[in-house]
Chains A and B, each alone.
Chain A
């Protein structure tokens, strides 16, 4: 009887641990994207495929090029990271996991100049797109996706 009880307890413990472990290890992709209208557009990067229709319809551009990106695995939900291009930097500071997402503090820098700051609850099922400044004939977009 004690043996079966021990087996049952082990199964419960392993199931609980495995479930929690599988939930906590998630990746957030953050990218700096230049949207432009060109005569021969390049294929959209794979990270943006799921929101391709929205990007084209909403912003009116036909090419989306990643100029800086970062992929961060969140274990505690308290990590911070930086996605940079030559002139821009997106600092992401995760401030904890909530039900269904992460609370993030986002800061967009142009070199050392802070352009924009926002706090968002990033859902695991819903990407976030931020329209940045106009760059030449195109537009800087910031995209965050939980993968």
Chain B
């Protein structure tokens, strides 16, 4: 079922015919005004058709059109490149990080070797103090002798002397 507006548009465009046309025209309240309006609409349509139809481009307009199209095409082609472009280079790039890591490991290795060399556990004899030589002045203590004891449990070396002259208690003064 067509509405009045649909029938009105079809009537203006001369799309109604037969019984539908006669029924619609009979339903119009003011037939003369409707025909006048139809004539005006036709005039307007013809005017629009005439005035809005595409007119051929002149040389300079054609050149401008071509140029604009080229610019638009290049802009569109450029966009994906911009999106895919790598970010600006910074100081800590991946290769530099790798280099820095390698250098740090090298430094660590050097320091570790250095410290291990310095901290290497000495042999047992180096734990204990060693007496290289000892002598008692024979003119002062003619019967003096020396012995060496290494107390490994306490890690103490004792140089034991015998036969030194005995001194009075006054010699214990500070």
Question: Which of A's residues lie within 8 Å of B, judged by CB?
Answer: 1, 4-5, 8, 11-12, 15-16, 19, 23, 34, 36, 51, 53-54, 58, 65, 67-68, 85-88, 99-101, 103, 110, 113-123, 125-138, 140, 144
Report if A120-B129 is in contact (Cβ < 8 Å); known contacts: A54-B154, A132-B161: yes
**B132 at the binding interface (Cβ < 8 Å):** yes
A38 to B78 alpha-carbon distance, docked (Å): 103
**Main SS class of interface, A:** strand
For residue B100, CB closer than 8 A to chain A, the reply is yes
For residue B115, which residues in chain A have a CB less than 8 angstroms away from its CB? 19
Grouping DSSP codes into helix (H, G, I), strand (E, B) and loop, the B interface class, with mixed when no group exceeds half, is mixed
Cβ contact within 8 Å between A131 and B103 = no
CB-CB under 8 A for A115 and B166, given A51-B156, A85-B174: no
The answer to whether A103 and B132 touch across the interface, beta carbons within 8 angstroms, is yes
Size category of the B interface is 35 or more
Return chain B residues, CB-CB under 8 Å to A99: 122, 126
**Nearest CB of B to A139, in Å:** 10
> Using a CB-CB cutoff of 8 Å, which residues 155-174 of chain B contact chain A?
155-161, 164-174
Question: Using a CB–CB distance below 8 Å, which chain B residues touch chain A?
Answer: 96, 99-100, 103-104, 106-107, 110-111, 114-115, 118, 122, 126-137, 140-141, 144, 146, 149, 151, 154-161, 164-174
> Of B107, B133, B154, B164, which is within 8 A of A133 by CB?
B164
Known: A129-B158, A131-B158. A123 touches B127 (CB 8 A): yes
Give CA–CA (A16, B144) in the complex, Å: 48
- Residues of B within 8 Å of A120, CB to CB, are 129-132, 157, 159
A116 touches B136 (CB 8 A): yes
